Amino acid sequence: MCQLLGMNCNVPTDIVFSLTGFQQRGGLTDEHADGWGIAFFEGKGCRAFLDPEPAAHSPLADFVRRYPIRSLNVIAHIRKATRGPVGLENTHPFVRELWGRYWIFAHNGTLDGYAPPPGARYRAVGSTDSEAAFCELLNTLCLRFPDGAAEDGGVGDAGVEEEVAAWASRLSALGAFNFLLSDGERLFAHCSTKLAYIERCAPFTKARLIDSDLEVDFSAVTTPQDRVAVIATAPLTDNEQWVTLPAGQVAVFNQGRRV
């Protein structure tokens, strides 16, 4: 099964600590060796680093870990191919533009017999069920809210959350559908079988990675106002209280806290 990692913050934060443990799962401490990717929002802009090579041995992964990008919303994914061959076009996260903003999406699980409606505006480039599902959501959103962007989040907030939840519930009937989704402000996390999160805020403490011999003292690198939510398939640290998301729930994170 693939691995997901997400971060949502109230101040631009680097994800180097979490990523260090997470990347070990791509071929070293776990078997997810069919590529990996990470996408960062920086303002309205978005950078995705994608690699069809195993994360644990990827020069690109090393580069990203050493080049701390500060971001409010990050999604990373390590792939264990189940639908669609290993290849760049099948590497998560997927990125599309809707309403003049980028959306990013990564999925963990397999949907059985999923056939997205043909001929729509957003179409999958690769052959994963995941990208097709992401396109279906965007097609639904732009049909329901054609002028979404014009209302500057007005339609968005409740309406989009409703549609995301309905889509998540519909597709979960076909199989495991754990996902992370972000529009650059909010981060949506859906647990179908396995997903946990932690909200870090003052007073910050030390955290110790499970997959790597590394500890960080967050009190030394934060201010009392900082809030950071980290969401992952499985907890990344062994000395903090992670919250397991109940199956069937879409959690929405904004400004580093679950809303």
Q: Which residues in this chain contact a second copy in the complex, by CB under 8 A?
A: 42-50, 52, 59-60, 63, 67, 87-91, 95-97, 99-102, 119, 121-126, 142, 146-147, 149-150
Residues acting as catalytic residues: 2
Nearer Cβ to a second copy (100/246): 100
Nearer Cβ to a second copy (78/251): 78
Dist CA 238 CA 117 (whole Å)? 43
Smallest separation, CB 207 to a second copy (Å): 27
Q: Is 236:18 a contact under the CB 8 Å cutoff?
A: yes
Dist CA 191 CA 180 (whole Å)? 9
Q: For 136, how many CA atoms within 13 A lie in the half-sphere containing its CB?
A: 18
Q: Supply 244's token pair.
A: 């397991």
Q: Is 196 exposed, middle or buried (0-12, 13-18, 19+ CB in 10 A)?
A: middle
Smallest separation, CB 123 to a second copy (Å): 4
Smallest separation, CB 189 to a second copy (Å): 23
> Which residues have C-beta within 8 Å of that of residue 91, sequence separation ≥ 6?
35, 36, 37, 50, 51, 52, 77, 79
Nearer Cβ to a second copy (92/194): 92
Nearer Cβ to a second copy (77/200): 77
Dist CA 48 CA 68 (whole Å)? 14
Residue 130 φ then ψ, to 5°:
-65, -50
Smallest separation, CB 24 to a second copy (Å): 21
